Amino acid sequence: MDTVAVAILVAAAQAGSLSAAARRLHLTPMSATRRLAALERDLGVRLLHRTTRSVALTPEGEAFLPFAQTLIESEAAGRARLHEATLQVSGLLRVTAPVAFGRKIIAPLVPGLLRDHPDLQIELHLNDAVVDLVAAGFDLAIRIAPLRDSELIARRLADSTRVLCAAPSYVAARGLPERLDDLAAHECLASTGTTHWTFRVNGKEHKVRIAGRFTSNGIDGLHQACLGGAGIALLALWNVRDDLRSGRLVRVPLGDVCPEERSIWAVYPSARYVLPKLRAFLSVLEAELARD
């Protein structure tokens, strides 16, 4: 069986078009169409309904798709095993991550990874939305949020400790809150749509209503507003570590009250065999997070 044709079927089902599948696999649309047609002749069934703009799986295609995905994963695992035997990390690694985390943590690691592995390519997509890994063709997603139930494999990399912080200029003008209830009298910089912050008080979850004149749909916006003295922000320690050390920001202490903990997760499609390129990337990322 032509495994390239099987890969075309899988990619077309994910992308919704043959042309997109061809681009993903670095083929011409005509070549992709011919190889898929040959696969259908070989199997004796029609796998895709084709139109000028899109494709859809036939019932036979729906039934065959899980087996096609397994075949592609098995082939990739076999190739990876051969590369592993010669200690080679190679190929294109497609990663999606939250904007601030990708910019602050992942991007600085890329030069070293590329230098250590000359046959490795990395494609980093920064997006605060939850991306469908399989449909978009990503090898890995980094997520810092409660995980939804799914068939994906999730591996916890580290804690994502969060801290309340403010710029010295804001503290000089407004002072510091001493208790959770005092936050109601302060400008709280929060994500768009957020009305409460969650804390742990004596081991129990406690929600505090917050308000402020500035919100943002991205962490970078909250971070910059906080640096400028616009208010108090609840930000990840990995994001503000350098600002706290330099004095550009100060922590807002509230006794034994701790912001709700989050975790940093690596999410990927299959547990059958972790490709060397993915293992190399995660090893470097975990080492960086452990350093923090």
Tell me the C-alpha distance between 1 and 4, whole Å. Answer: 9
Worst-scoring range by mean pLDDT, 89-103, 141-155, 198-212? 141-155
Greater model confidence, 14 or 185 = 185
Comparing CA positions, the residue from 191, 99, 158 lying closest to residue 282 is: 158
pLDDT, tens digit, for every residue of 67-94?
Answer: 887 787 777 667 666 655 555 788 899 9
pLDDT the model gives residue 149: 57
Q: Give the rounded distance of the alpha carbon of 254 from its chain centre.
A: 31
E strand or H helix at 123, and its extent?
strand 120-126
Domains of the chain: 3-84 (1.10.10.10), 88-157+264-291 (3.40.190.10), 162-260 (3.40.190.290)
E strand or H helix at 190, and its extent?
strand 188-191
201: confidence class by pLDDT, cuts 50, 70, 90? confident
Tell me the C-alpha distance between 67 and 42, whole Å. Answer: 15
pTM of the model: 0.70
pLDDT, tens digit, for every residue of 26-68?
Answer: 888 888 889 888 988 888 888 888 776 778 888 888 888 888 8
